Structure formats: C-alpha cells, structure tokens
C-alpha cells in the first residue's frame, strides 16, 4: 500500500489540511490498536510501546516539516514514522518479521527507519536519537541543504547525558534542530515529579540558551503552531528550540506493564482529553467539514490499517539464513 503524499501547513488552513491531520491521527490510533491485537494473538514477537493518546504531537510537528526535513524517533515511534509518511504495510510487515518490512523483518518496532521520508530511525536507547539528530542538523548546516531536523524524545530522555550534550552543541553551533519532548508524565514507572527537581521541563533549556515552549500535546493545532515557529527559527539560522508537548500514554509502558504506579482515575482524566475528538470539535467549529465527512475519514483510516495488516500477514517471512546478509547489506555494498 502506498502512502498519500504528505500535506504541509496549518491543520485548519483548508479542508484538505484538516482531512490530512485527522486521517494521520486516526491512522496512528488504528495502527496501534491493530498492533496490540496482533501481539495479543501471538503473531508478533518481542515487545512494543504504544503511543495511543499521543497522536497529535507527531502529526502537528510533521505538518510543519518539508518532505526533505528529517526526524529521529524513539522506542515509542510508530506515530512518528506514520506522521512522516511511512508505508503502513511495510511497518506492520517489519513488526511481523516479514521480508518486505523496513528492515527486512530483522529489526522490529524499535528499529524502523525510512530514509526516503526523512525518518532516520526509531531507537531503543533512551535519548539515543538526540545526538543523531544533532549530527544530521550539523550536516544540514555544513552542506547548506536547508533541512530541519526534529528529534522526538520522551521526558525520561531529558535526564540522559545524550540530551545535555546534544542540546549544548545544537545551541553553540546554532543547528537547524528542534528538540521535541513528548512529556507523557512517566519514564516507565517513574513519574516526572520523582525524576525532576524542576516543575516545568521546558526550563531545562535555560541552561543552554535555547528558547523553549510548552504546548498542549493533545491539540494538533497548538502543536503545529509552535512547530511552525520553531521550524522557521531553524530555517532562518537562529538555532534550536525545545518544544515540550504535554501529553499522556493511555496504555502501559510496554506489553509487560501492569500499570501499578498510576491510578485508573488519572488514566480516565487523560482519556477525556483524547486528541482526536478535540480536533474533530475544531473542524466542526471551523465549518470545514460535516460530521459525515469526518466519519468517512475515520473509516478510511481503519480500512487502510486493515488492508496493511492483511497484506503484511500474507507476505513472505524473513529467512533466518539471511540474517547476517540483511544486517550488513549496506556496509558490504
Ligand atoms: C539508555 C537507556 N536506559 C534505559 C532504558 C530502558 N528504558 C526503555 S524505555 C524507558 C523509559 C523512557 O521514558 P521516556 O523517555 O519518558 O519515554 P516514554 O516511554 O515515556 O515514551 C527506559 C528507562 C533504555 N532503553 N535505554
Ligand atoms: Mg515518558
């Protein structure tokens, strides 16, 4: 299944933009639900980290990026891949260990990269994508390619040395980079209250001389507006921005999480702040679409994910005998 071309611009700029933002958020939601289902049925191995509840952040951020701009992602990266334009079938295939997957079925969820759409890769190392993004941003600056590089990372990653080193280099070299923190309030079972001595994570940027902003990470319009400002700064040679998107993951950290560190009430409170109905309300207010058109887009996202799953399930499994050839393909070429 090929992916529709990405649409850049404000999510309420036109009916097409609203359609794009809604379709991509619904694709992420439906993709994650399908992954959970496949895992539950024993068809997927390893572990997985779902981003249900966080869909507005990657969607809003990526609508401010050109096709050639780049991102680095995390262990919770399906939403970033989809928002940057990845093919759903190749993503599911990767998770199912199929040859047509992004890494030939050898890498799984935490290694999906799609260089053609500017996705430099998910990363199982917390904070690992931040220095990679700084390196890509340095390359952009030196080669004058005009590319902006976004590093998505979680609140937990902000306490890794990699964040601090990359933030400092990005600041002193004025790299065309956006540090995008998805503050979902927990790093595994550790709450941000326990892991930070500051109340607002955006204050971390002060020590590096980087401008920073908080945004409602469940509001695709608000995310886009801040992302656009940060992307303009980067393109104008003014250096990096830290965006802290306040959001929440509805599901456990990973498959094995029993959710013992947070209350049902807290989860319920955040479920009421679901980014998808929040955006639907804005579309209806703006009169860009009728409810029936909105329903059709949600159904379309569901159909696209079902089609991707069906195609990926039928695809050829990766052969263990080809393991080393697949891993070292690029190096030996
Ligand atoms: C360097 C490193 N330390 C620890 C881990 C184990 N680990 C995996 S995910 C995670 C929590 C990350 O939290 P956060 O950055 O907030 O992302 P979230 O899971 O909330 O999306 C940890 C500690 C790891 N993968 N890499
Ligand atoms: Mg977190």
Query: In the chain, which stretches have pLDDT less than 70?
Result: 1-5, 326-333
Q: Whose CA is nearest to atom 2 of ligand 1?
A: 126
- Report which bound ligand comes closest to the CA of 246: 2
CA of 185 to the centre of ligand 2 (A): 5
| Per-residue pLDDT tens digits for 94-123 | 999 999 999 999 899 999 999 999 999 999
pLDDT at 248 (0 to 100): 98
CA 194 to centroid of ligand 1, rounded, Å: 15
Whole-model pTM? 0.96
What phi and psi values does residue 329 have, to the nearest 5 degrees? Answer: -50, -55
Measured in Å, residue 181 CA sits from the centre of ligand 2 at: 9
* Residue 33 CA, distance from chain mean position: 16
Residue 320, pLDDT score: 85
Domains: count for the chain: 1
> Do the domain assignments include residue 5?
no
Q: Is the CB of 323 under 6 A from ligand 1?
A: no
d(CA 171, CA 160): 17
If one residue of 50, 110, 156, 256 were mutated to test the ligand 1 pocket, choosing by the most ligand atoms within 8 A of its CB, it would be: 156
- Which pLDDT belongs to residue 151? 98
Q: List CB contacts of 111: < 8 A, sequence separation 6 or more.
A: 94, 102, 103, 121, 122, 124
Of ligand 1's listed atoms, the one at least distance from the Cα of 126 is 26
Q: Note whether residue 56 is domain-resident.
A: yes
Token code pair at residue 325: 């050839």
In a domain, 323, yes or no: no
Q: Is residue 326 part of a domain?
A: no
Evaluate whether residue 265 is within a structural domain: yes
Name the residue range of residue 205's domain: 15-315
**Number of Cβ atoms within 10 Å of the Cβ of 171:** 20
Domain assignment present for 267: yes
Q: What is the CATH number of the domain that holds 127?
A: 3.40.50.970
State pLDDT tens for residues 25-37: 999 999 999 999 9
Q: Is residue 70 part of a domain?
A: yes
Structural contact between residues 72 and 121, judged by C-beta atoms closer than 8 angstroms = yes
Per the domain annotation, does 142 fall within a domain? Answer: yes
């Amino acid at each position: 299944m090929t992916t529709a071309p990405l649409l850049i611009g404000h999510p309420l700029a036109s009916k097409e933009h609203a359609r794009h933002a809604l379709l991509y958020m619904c694709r992420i939601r439906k993709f994650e639900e399908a992954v959970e289902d496949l895992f539950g049925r024993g068809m997927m191995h390893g572990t997985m980290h779902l981003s249900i509840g966080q869909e507005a952040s990657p969607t809003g951020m990526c609508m401010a990026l050109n096709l050639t701009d780049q991102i680095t992602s995390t262990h919770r990266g399906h939403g970033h891949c989809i928002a940057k334009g990845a093919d759903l079938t190749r993503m599911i295939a990767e998770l199912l260990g199929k040859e047509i997957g992004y890494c030939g079925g050898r890498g799984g969820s935490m290694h999906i990269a799609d260089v053609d759409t500017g996705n430099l890769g998910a990363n199982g190392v917390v904070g690992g994508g931040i220095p990679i993004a700084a390196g890509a941003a340095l390359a952009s600056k030196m080669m004058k390619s005009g590319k902006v590089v976004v590093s998505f990372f979680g609140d937990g990653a902000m306490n890794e040395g990699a964040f601090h080193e990359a933030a400092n280099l990005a600041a002193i070299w004025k790299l065309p980079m956006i540090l995008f923190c998805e503050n979902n309030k927990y790093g595994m079972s550790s709450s941000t209250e326990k892991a930070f001595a500051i109340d607002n994570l955006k204050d971390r940027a002060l020590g590096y001389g980087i401008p920073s902003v908080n945004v409602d990470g469940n509001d695709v319009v608000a995310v886009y507006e801040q992302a656009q400002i940060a992307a303009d700064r980067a393109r104008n040679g003014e250096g990096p921005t830290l965006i802290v998107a306040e959001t929440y993951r509805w599901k456990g950290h990973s498959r094995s999480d029993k959710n013992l560190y947070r209350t049902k009430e807290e989860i319920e409170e955040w479920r009421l702040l679901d980014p998808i109905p929040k955006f639907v309300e804005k579309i209806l207010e703006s009169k860009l679409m009728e409810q029936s058109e909105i329903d059709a887009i949600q159904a379309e996202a569901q159909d696209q994910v079902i089609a991707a799953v069906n195609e990926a399930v039928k695809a050829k499994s990766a052969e263990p005998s080809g393991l080393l050839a697949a891993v070292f393909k690029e190096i030996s070429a």
